[in-house]
């Protein structure tokens, strides 16, 4: 029996103007982390679930946020992104 697994790709963040990070003219992530390059044809290096997690942490009112993306898909980056982008943001855990 042969098993063929297809690669898993998350949907990319739609980019500026529709971004949960509230980017307006330029991606905040590429401004703060210039070495983190977006894929060709995209303006943001984040997956949509990472950007949504960031948006909910920074601007939402949820007490608990559950990101159910696949293993190895960047959930930890999404959760830690506020502290990496904003030096005034403090995380405790």
pLDDT in tens, 63-85: 999 999 888 889 999 999 999 88
pLDDT for residue 7: 67
- Domain for residue 2, yes or no? no
Q: Based on C-alpha coordinates, what's the Rg of the chain?
A: 14
pLDDT band at 91 (very low <50, low <70, confident <90, very high): confident
Q: Which domain holds residue 79?
A: 28-85
- Return the number of other C-beta atoms located less than 10 Å from residue 45's C-beta: 19
Cα–Cα dist 81/77, whole Å: 6
- Domain for residue 74, yes or no? yes
Residue 37 in this model has a pLDDT that exceeds 90? no
Cα–Cα dist 73/52, whole Å: 14
CA 51 from centre of chain: 3
Look up residue 84 and give its two tokens.
Answer: 């990496």
- Domain for residue 8, yes or no? no
Residue 40 in this model has a pLDDT that exceeds 80? yes
Total count of domains within the chain: 1
Q: Quote the pTM value.
A: 0.83
């Amino acid at each position: 029996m042969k098993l063929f697994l297809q690669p898993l790709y998350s949907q990319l963040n739609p980019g500026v103007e529709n971004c949960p990070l509230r980017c307006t003219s330029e991606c905040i992530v590429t401004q703060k982390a210039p070495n983190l390059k977006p894929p060709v044809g995209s303006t943001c290096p984040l997956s949509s679930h990472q950007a949504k997690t960031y948006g909910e942490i920074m601007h939402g009112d949820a007490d608990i946020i559950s990101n159910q993306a696949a293993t190895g898909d960047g959930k930890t980056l999404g959760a830690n992104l506020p502290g990496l982008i904003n030096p005034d943001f403090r995380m405790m855990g």
